[in-house]
Structure 1
Amino acid sequence: MQSYLRGAQHRALRQLLRRCARAQRRACSSLSAITAGFFLLLCACVLYLPEIHWELPDSADELRSVTLLVWTHPFGHYRRLPDCWEQYQVEGCLLTDEPLEYSHVDAVIIHHRDIATGAAELPPEPRPRAQKWIWMNYESPAHTPGLWQFEHKFNLTLSYRADSDIFLPYGYLVPGIARSHDAHLLHAPSRARVLRPRLVAWVISNWSDSQARVAFYHELQRYVHIDVYGQAGLPLASGSESVIRVVSRYQFYLAFENSQHRDYITEKLWNAVAAGAVPVVLGPTRHNYERFLPPEAFIHVDDFPSVRALARYLLMLRRNPSRLQHHLDWREGYSVVQPTFWAHHYCAACRAVRKSRDTTQVVHSLEHWFWSDRG
């Protein structure tokens, strides 16, 4: 591509010099010698102009487009493939879910759960030259089986982990108004509207008495009333919008993860943020959460010596709106982005492939990496 631009630059310069020469000849025949000398001086100056930095024209940029194959729709649920430019302003990305295109695509995105459970096979070997395989997974290590089977198979990783090759978390904050249809502008409530009609909510779809979060809930509900929605509680319509609508009536929301691992901070936290409730979190360390949002934006269960002490703090905040507002004032001037599964992920992967198209690497220790730095 650089040689293409250099050639275009040289062709343009030669054309300009030819025009100068013709103009000089015309000037010599019809104008004074002074005029002819002016044209000669102008042409000489052109030779010493600094190097021109050419912007990529649309036609040239299209030459850099890449095609990404979605090998299987995650969990077997078909979703229409997005237009990456229209939805995320990602240029030069073509998406397909047609397996017959395998030999012609630049990269293949492969969802871990589908190949680990046998719902799908890996693409055939040998793969086309320079083609990249992308490992995509949004489950925690505790719920990611069979990693050992896929050592040395992939070139890029795509997950919620901040040290992934392609990092796209379940949610993130953006100063100001985000340019994304996945964004929600936040506001700090006025002092008159800090308090909400209900105290604590918890939405849980996968209830298991063996989970630490369920044991914590049983202890906490001895001291404060908690409205539970989902499998073990009140009915809740599907979809994040309905969750946000329900949670917006509550002061606090239990953003309890099903397992505790580095960077595993799911939509539970971001639904609470979008709904304006203060999240009470159980997951990785406080330090890990603070990489994603301000320290006052959440209440971590590890901050308290006991479950009872946490309950007392929540009740104290309820009685003291000025103290409660400390956990909400930070919201002004931010938007929260909650990437749409899986459209946002495909386009992020496609953008990364474009940027790395001239490099090749192999993920040598997938299992060790994904289980590393727990907490």
Structure 2
Amino acid sequence: MCVATVGFVSILGVSLLWLPEPRVVEPRVSEVNRPVTLLIWTHPFGHYSRPPDCFELYQIDQCTLTDDARAYPHADAVIVHHREVATGKADLPPEPRPRAQKWIWMNFESPTHTPRLGHFEDVFNLTMTYRTDSDIFVPYGYLFPRARRNKGAPNHFVHPLRVPTRSRLYRPRLVVWVVSNWSESHARVAFYYRLTRHIRVDVFGRAGRPDAKGQQRGAPGRKAGAIPVVLGPSRQNYERFLPPEAFIHVDDFPTVRGLARYLLMLRRNPSRMRRHLDWRGSYSMHQASFWAEHYCTACNAVMRNRGRTDVVQHLAGWFES
């Protein structure tokens, strides 16, 4: 493993949210809710997964999930994953939709990888994304103090974080970037080129580069004890979600060379490195289960919004803001 993970990420890339209160799936009281049928219109990215049992996983009762299109006429809601309908691999559900049926727009990609948003204005009733202002908010994960119980989340979704021992701080690789989407027009790619003039950065992931090494995807740097190096949103924005010492922001340094010198210093100074890692001893991590948690959270939201029939307006302007 490496000492620092160069995230070069937007707020999407900070996949572990530090929230004042855990935003988790809460069980519903079945006696006061009639059953809900939720139709999965397409499986995200064409990867089939069996619809989960929401009661078994999250104690959500009276929720039926199905991917059988024949259920459309009587489904209370339909989840539509953006990628399939945007690329033409699937059509939107047929109109006119059944009375009071809700269409849910689901997307967990960044705005630069969310094409044709303008084609879906005034179509959906609810949004489900990693944005905190979504109608249905499902982060990639979040942190919570160990002293506080993570309500509604089974133990296999909760991972206590550990502070690496002194011997574990000495690692053969110092800086690594795990990247799946690579474009020469990206600011993070330009920053990568500037940083590699001063320090070696090992590149892993499905980046499509000829010299990309390995095919690791979604490397769990938070679980591994890496220190994220981030750019994009301001430090104040990141600190809404993470303890201030949990990451290194490129804006903390006047030059790229200054950042590189700081990272090299961390290798020589384990006590200074520990200042970026000691916070871990007080937190656990909830890691979202793709896509079971999303479907069950959506079903729960449909129960809470039975009478809502308004339409999402300005989808593109909102998501690209």
Q: CA deviation at 1:161?
A: 0.9
Q: CA deviation at 1:92?
A: 2.5
Aligned to 1:197: 172
Aligned to 1:158: 128
Aligned to 1:149: 119
In 2, the alpha carbon distance for the partners of 1:163 and 1:57 equals 25
Aligned to 1:107: 77
1:182 matched to 2:157? The reply is yes
Q: What does 1:180-329 correspond to in 2, within 5 Å? A: 180=154, 181-191=156-166, 193-230=168-205, 231-232=208-209, 233=211, 235-240=213-218, 243=219, 271-329=220-278
Share of identical aligned residues, percent?
Answer: 62
CA separation of 1:235/1:191 partners in 2, compared to 1, >3 Å: closer, same or farther?
Answer: closer
CA separation of 1:212/1:239 partners in 2, compared to 1, >3 Å: closer, same or farther?
Answer: closer
After superposition, give the CA deviation of every residue in 1:52-76 in whole Å (9 maximum; x if it has no partner).
Answer: xxxx986x35x52211000111122
Letter in 2 for 1:136: M
Letter in 2 for 1:69: L
Q: CA deviation at 1:319?
A: 1.5
Aligned to 1:370: 319
Determine helix, strand or coil for the equivalent of 1:332: helix
1:340 matched to 2:289? The reply is yes
Q: CA deviation at 1:136?
A: 0.7
Determine helix, strand or coil for the equivalent of 1:209: coil
After superposition, give the CA deviation of every residue in 1:199-253 in whole Å (9 maximum; x if it has no partner).
Answer: 111122333322222221122122222222234345434554xx3xxxxxxxxxx
Determine helix, strand or coil for the equivalent of 1:109: strand
Q: Larger Cα Rg: Structure 1 or Structure 2?
A: 1
In 2, the alpha carbon distance for the partners of 1:69 and 1:216 equals 42
Determine helix, strand or coil for the equivalent of 2:214: coil
After superposition, give the CA deviation of every residue in 1:182-204 in whole Å (9 maximum; x if it has no partner).
Answer: 33210123445433332111122
Q: CA deviation at 1:91?
A: 2.7
In 1, the alpha carbon distance for the partners of 2:67 and 2:57 equals 18
Determine helix, strand or coil for the equivalent of 1:305: coil
Q: Which moved more, 1:229-238 or 1:132-141?
A: 229-238
Q: CA deviation at 1:115?
A: 1.2
Q: CA deviation at 1:153?
A: 1.2
Q: TM-score, normalised by structure 2?
A: 0.83
Determine helix, strand or coil for the equivalent of 1:68: strand
| 2:77/2:103 contact within 8 Å kept | yes
Structure with higher helix content: 1
CA separation of 1:227/1:239 partners in 2, compared to 1, >3 Å: closer, same or farther?
Answer: closer
- CA RMSD after TM alignment: 2.0
Q: Which moved more, 1:272-281 or 1:210-219?
A: 210-219
In 2, the alpha carbon distance for the partners of 1:239 and 1:147 equals 26
Kindly tell me the number of residue pairs found equivalent between the two proteins: 286
Q: CA deviation at 1:175?
A: 2.0
| 2:29/2:61 contact within 8 Å kept | no
CA separation of 1:184/1:144 partners in 2, compared to 1, >3 Å: closer, same or farther?
Answer: same
CA separation of 1:285/1:90 partners in 2, compared to 1, >3 Å: closer, same or farther?
Answer: farther
Gaps of 5+ in 1: 1-55, 244-270
Gaps of 5+ in 2: 1-27
In 2, the alpha carbon distance for the partners of 1:92 and 1:318 equals 54
In 2, the alpha carbon distance for the partners of 1:318 and 1:187 equals 19
- Which structure is higher in RCO with an 8 Å CA cutoff and minimum separation 6? 2
In 2, the alpha carbon distance for the partners of 1:228 and 1:359 equals 46
Aligned to 2:43: 73
Determine helix, strand or coil for the equivalent of 1:314: helix
Q: TM-score, normalised by structure 1?
A: 0.71
